Amino acid sequence: MKNDKRIDLSTNHQIALLEKYYDVDRTKKEINVKLYYDKASELLNFSVGDIGKEMFDNSVLEKITEITDQFPSDYRANIIFVVTDFEGYTVELLNEKLIDIIDINNFKIIKNRKYTWLTAAILVLVGFVLLLALGMARHFNWFGDGIKKEVFEEMLNITSWVFIWQAVTILFLQPSNLSKIGFKIIRSINSVSFMDKNLNYLSKLSKDDVIENWESDSRTKSYRKVLLLVSSTAIFALGLYKLSQIIVDLITVDKMDGLSFLSYMVDVILILSYTFAGLAGFYKYLNKNKFRKFAKFFSVILGLVILFSIVGSIISFQVNTLISNLISLLVYGIYIFSIYAPDSKKIKENKENQSN
């Protein structure tokens, strides 16, 4: 009779396996991980920088990440560096270098995240432009009839969604290796210690000490940056949509009266406001000064034009236009909040300074 016993994939079995190789505290849900090094220099990277200014080696953090990947998600690791020969390096200096490399990684992650989100926004805009082009192509029958029409329209449709899907991919499906390491350091580490060859503790840093400067931006500020990019992208896209509407109207209109001309002028002002407000948002997201002077001016004009459009659509009982303008007003509100809302961290610091 065949052995029908199934593999035990329970947490208890996983912990039992880990207990064969690590010191596991089930009560505290902590696992002591000893990493042995003959020399302190093995923890450092000598390939970059001047002599005496060597950094902590990132490969050590990668090794820690690889190890902690084996642990249950609710367990934390106490990383213990056991060094036989410190070669004149003090434990304080090694701790400082460890914190420094984590801070440097933090800055790189923030920078990479910023440009990743911007790249995704640009890809979405390109996909949106192609979808607008597809709509206009179908409306004006640019590709004629028959198989040629089906092929070209399908190609345009697929290409536009490839750009949009690529934006989703780089945001959520392809995190950088550095981000993975940073995430593991934050979520999986309980403390970092140094021991000598006799297993005597020389120092012990808590996770809070190790990641003291991690994500120096306040959470509110981080969310506000994302809202700024999303709302700026939406505003820019609304401007492109308004532009496509004007192009379609100008091509199809037979005769233009004074009221129509006035309506087109309002739309042109709105498109310019959308465009410059969106650009100002993009540059503010990148902490660049270009278009920053125009941000307030065009955001005010944009708000006035949107309100004017809402009033006009209510008077004329145009429900579809009213819904479109209300959506624009919502996006505009998010945009204004993300640009002008005060930073809660700075407010807190100012209050603390005033109380002192």
Q: What is the mean pLDDT of each run of 10 residues along the chain (356 residues)?
A: 51 89 93 95 85 86 90 92 94 92 84 88 93 88 84 92 90 70 78 94 89 62 83 88 83 68 76 83 80 68 74 72 77 81 56 56
Which residue blocks in the chain are alpha helix, DSSP H? Answer: 11-19, 58-68, 91-140, 147-168, 177-188, 207-210, 219-252, 258-285, 292-315, 319-340, 344-355
CB 109 within 8 A of CB 138: no
- Split into its structural domains, the chain has a count of 1
Neighbours of 20 (CB within 10 A): 7
d(CA 282, CA 230): 10
For residue 351, what pLDDT is reported? 53
Please provide the size of the chain in residues: 356
Name which of 76, 74, 75, 80 is nearest 60 in CA terms: 80
For residue 254, what pLDDT is reported? 67
At residue 338's C-alpha, the angle toward residues 310 and 172, to 5°, is 105
**In sequence order, what are the residues at sequence separation of 6 or more whose Cβ sits closer than 8 angstroms to the Cβ of residue 311?**
none
Place of tokens 């042109």: 268
Tell me the pairing of strands 76-85 and 189-195: parallel
The answer to whether residue 39 sits within a structural domain is no
d(CA 121, CA 164): 9
For residue 146, what pLDDT is reported? 82
The DSSP letter of residue 40 is G
CB 21 within 8 A of CB 14: no
The answer to whether residue 285 sits within a structural domain is yes
Neighbours of 60 (CB within 10 A): 19
For residue 269, what pLDDT is reported? 78
The answer to whether residue 37 sits within a structural domain is no
The answer to whether residue 254 sits within a structural domain is yes
The answer to whether residue 205 sits within a structural domain is no
At residue 192's C-alpha, the angle toward residues 190 and 195, to 5°, is 135
- Residues 222-241 pLDDT 10s: 778 888 899 889 988 988 88
The answer to whether residue 69 sits within a structural domain is no
Token pair for 169: 């991919």
Token pair for 285: 């997201």
The answer to whether residue 8 sits within a structural domain is no
The answer to whether residue 257 sits within a structural domain is yes
Q: Could you tell me the residue range of the domain that residue 238 belongs to?
A: 217-338
d(CA 106, CA 345): 19
In this prediction the pTM is 0.74
